[in-house]
Structure 1
Amino acid sequence: MNIMDYLNSRFPTVKLVPSIYDQWDIGIHFSLGGEMYQFKEKDKLNLERFHLVYKQTSVIFNELFEQNDDLFLVTNMYKHKTKEKHAKKLKVYQPFLKQKDHLNRIQVTTYPYPFEMEEAAELEMQQFSLLCKRKDIRVNELLKAASNEDFPLKPKFGGSSIGYPDIFFVNITKDIIFFIYDDRGCEVIACEADRIRPLYEKYYDWVEEMDRKKVESGL
């Protein structure tokens, strides 16, 4: 099975690009970091906020993924079609996989650039996917790197100069997709509402009031 076969079967209207929450009726958008701002005085990073973000993403992930669940770890890398030599290495899989032989099983497909901008015709999206188990991944470090997109914090992904890689966790055992777009929030969608309704009830305070009506209509 590859990622497109799975999506066509279980999430036929979803494309793995931001925002999956807007593409599917059954989903939750969580806001991260509470009421804390990213910076303190004199532009010092508010590390307390980032530690809260790391804790929240870890809690959500652990509610959705068990050690033996099968999942696709999917990465979108955005790059120039003709300027490959200027692209940085994609440091998403090698640092975060426990067994390096998994690197040989990564699949890659190239797609048109998915966002509207003037030079979109000159750009493309390479989508990497690896079928593995949750226990094969260094989860906490991977979640932190996904959250650190806009800030000089480690761990950090490599990637193209035109954008930070997007990472999707696709749980094919439970038919759930989890996406952290940056330190501000994350999205969860599911084939069946029962899979994620307890998550919404348990972490209701992490969902902004303006999102609750849409979430509850799907759940």
Structure 2
Amino acid sequence: MLLNNFMNENFPNLELRPPLFYCWDIGIRFELGVEWKREYDYPNNPYVLGCYKRAITLFEALHSPTEEICVVTDVNDFDKGKKLKNQLNNFSRYVEKTLLFSLKHQSMPYIFPEDDEEGTYKTHRFSLNCKTSDFKYIPLLKAICNQDLGLKPRIFHRVYFININKKTIFHVYDDRGCDLLATSPETIRHIYEGYNHWILDYDRYEIDRVFK
């Protein structure tokens, strides 16, 4: 499965970049982190444990162990490739080493051009087709949630989980929340109904319109 072909066929005109929820008609935006307190500056505090629980629960509700998925990681290169290999180590620790031979790479202009007026930066997109059970999604999700909390391990790259069978896109953008997109409301209705109390209230009206 070629990533670009899949996107063009199932999510036409959708650019794989945040905020995904506001760029597609069928989706849900969930709130992950709630009731943060200033004194929560230590590992495994109630706030961060809540983030982990919601991210992992939503992921597992959407992806069964045997389903084919594509894990996409965008690495923004600000130093002309000098630290690119070290940055990739953050990704490789979460998958079986033998699978890395199937890793596909695409170099493209910096994905946020409005922040790069001179056009000097690049974004390296890595995609890996595998089964859900082939990679360590729990520590990966935790590392994504940790990115702005001063906790380790953490990963700053944008990571997208594309379910080839269900035709969905799952993106945890940080500890605050995550987006779930689909080609049909029925595909994710069970998640909308089962985790309705986790939906971000700010966008609840638009989300309810899709499913009701």
Please give the residue correspondences for 1:181-192 in structure 2 after superposition, counting only pairs within 5 Å: 181-192=173-184
| Cα distance in structure 2, aligned partners of 1:86 and 1:68 | 34
Cα deviation code 1:74-110 (max 9, x no counterpart): 0001113x6321444223432111x211000000101
- Alpha-carbon distance in structure 2 between the residues aligned to 1:30 and 1:68: 25
**CA–CA distance in structure 2, aligned partners of residues 83 and 55 of structure 1:** 37
Aligned equivalent of 1:51, options 49, 52, 57: 49
Structure 1 residue 218: Cα displacement: 2.3
Structure 1 position 128, deviation (Å): 0.3
TM-score for both structures, normalised by structure 1: 0.89
Aligned positions of 1:1-219 closer than 5 A: 1-34=1-34, 36-37=35-36, 39-40=38-39, 47-80=45-78, 83-87=80-84, 88-97=86-95, 99-115=96-112, 116-119=114-117, 121-157=119-155, 164-219=156-211
**SS, match of residue 36 in structure 2:** coil
SS at match of 1:93: helix
Deviations 1:146-204 (CA, angstroms, capped at 9, x unpaired): 111112323223xxxxxx21000000011111000000000000011011122112211
Change in CA separation of 1:106 and 1:201 when aligned onto 2, cut-off 3 Å:
same
Residues 122-143 of structure 1 show CA distances to partners (whole Å, capped at 9, x for unaligned) of: 1111100000000101111111
Q: Would the aligned equivalents of 2:110 and 2:116 in 1 still touch at CA under 8 Å?
A: no
- TM-score norm. by structure 2 comes to 0.91
Secondary structure at the residue paired with 1:85? Answer: coil
Inter-partner Cα distance in structure 2 for 1:44 and 1:61 = 25
Q: Give the conservation status (yes or no) of the 8 Å contact 2:33–2:50.
A: yes
Helix, strand or coil for the counterpart of 2:51?
helix
Deviations 1:4-31 (A, max 9, x none): 1111111112221111111110000001
Identity of aligned residues (%): 33
Mean Cα deviation higher: 12-21 or 25-34 = 12-21
What count of residue pairs does the alignment treat as equivalent? 209
Further displaced range: 118-127 or 179-188: 118-127
Segments of structure 1 that go 5 or more residues without pairing to the other structure are: 158-163
Are the counterparts in 1 of residues 80 and 121 from structure 2 also a CA contact under 8 Å? no
Unaligned runs of 5+ in 2: none
Per the alignment, in what secondary structure is the counterpart of residue 87 of structure 2? coil
Displacement after TM superposition at 1:145 (Å): 0.9
The alpha-carbon deviation at position 38 of structure 1 amounts to 5.3
Q: Which residue of 2 aligns with 1:161?
A: none
Residues of 1 paired with 2:186 and 2:150: CA distance?
38
